[in-house]
């Protein structure tokens, strides 16, 4: 189960006990806008959100291993994330 929120993360909106995957997409150290997909452990599409103007994204996900895929003009990159129940996984994705 996964819920996705559009736009950039706002730390004040994280609810205690929720499993959260968030991060920022950059190119050459600068934020990049585009989309970020969340794929489950088998590679199946689960959710997609646009990044904010500062390249940030957030997903609420179940505990487990996930792939976070950034899709931006001119490139893409994947990161594997292990989300813990009630934890916060912070992901930096450089494309």
- Using DSSP's 3-state secondary structure scheme, residue 86 falls into coil
How much is the pTM?
A: 0.82
* Residues in the chain with pLDDT values less than 70: 1-16
Residue extents of the structural domains in the chain = 2-8+18-94
pLDDT for the residue 37: 98
Q: Which of 92, 87, 35 is nearest to 61 (CA)?
A: 87
User: 79-86 — which CB contacts under 8 Å span 24+ positions?
Assistant: 79/23, 81/21, 83/19, 83/20, 83/21, 84/19, 85/19, 86/16, 86/17, 86/18, 86/19
Q: Which of 10, 15, 17, 2 is nearest to 57 (CA)?
A: 10
Render pLDDT for 23-35 as a digit per residue (tens, 0 to 9).
999 999 999 999 9
Q: For domain 2-8+18-94, say whether CATH 3.40.50.1100 is its number.
A: no
């Amino acid at each position: 189960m996964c819920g996705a929120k559009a736009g950039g993360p706002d730390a004040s909106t994280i609810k205690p006990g929720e499993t959260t995957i968030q991060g920022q997409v950059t190119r050459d150290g600068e934020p990049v806008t585009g989309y970020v997909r969340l794929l489950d452990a088998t590679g199946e599409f689960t959710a997609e959100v646009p990044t904010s103007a500062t390249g940030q994204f957030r997903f609420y996900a179940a505990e487990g291993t996930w792939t976070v895929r950034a899709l931006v003009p001119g490139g893409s990159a994947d990161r594997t994330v292990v989300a813990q129940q009630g934890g916060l996984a912070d992901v930096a994705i450089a494309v």
